[in-house]
Amino acid sequence: MNIYVGNLPYNVTEDELRNMFAEYGEVSSANIITDKYSGESKGFGFVEMPKQADAEEAIKALNGSSVKGRSLKVNQARPRNERPPRGPRY
């Protein structure tokens, strides 16, 4: 299952993100999304867990939890084509 992790502190590393979820089961990947120009974290990322039950447990446990003073938003990631448009593009 692909999991969205939002409101991440900007200084969290991919290893730290992976370790947060590894407590709940196998993590196949952990990626923090960065700005393509500055390389800085955008404050969100994605974690892939192969077992649905482990992923659901991690979502329940970590959603709303505090990491470095920020309350995480954790839920099942939606495919890109299911997201609503972000507003007008000029």
Render 21-78 in DSSP notation, one character per residue: HHTTS--SEEEEEE-TTT--EEEEEEEE-S-HHHHHHHHHHHTT-EETTEE-EEEEPP
Record: fold of 2-79: Alpha-Beta Plaits (3.30.70)
Q: Check residue 89 and give its pLDDT.
A: 64
pLDDT at 81 over 90: no
In percent, how much of the chain has pLDDT > 90?
A: 86
Q: Strand pairing partners for 86? A: none
Q: Check residue 23 and give its pLDDT.
A: 97
Q: Check residue 90 and give its pLDDT.
A: 61
pTM: 0.87
What is the residue-wise DSSP string for 22-34?
HTTS--SEEEEEE
What is the residue whose two structure tokens read 């952990």? 30
pLDDT at 86 over 80: no
pLDDT in tens, 3-39: 999 999 999 999 999 999 999 999 999 999 999 999 9
pLDDT at 2 over 90: yes
- Give SS3 for 27: coil
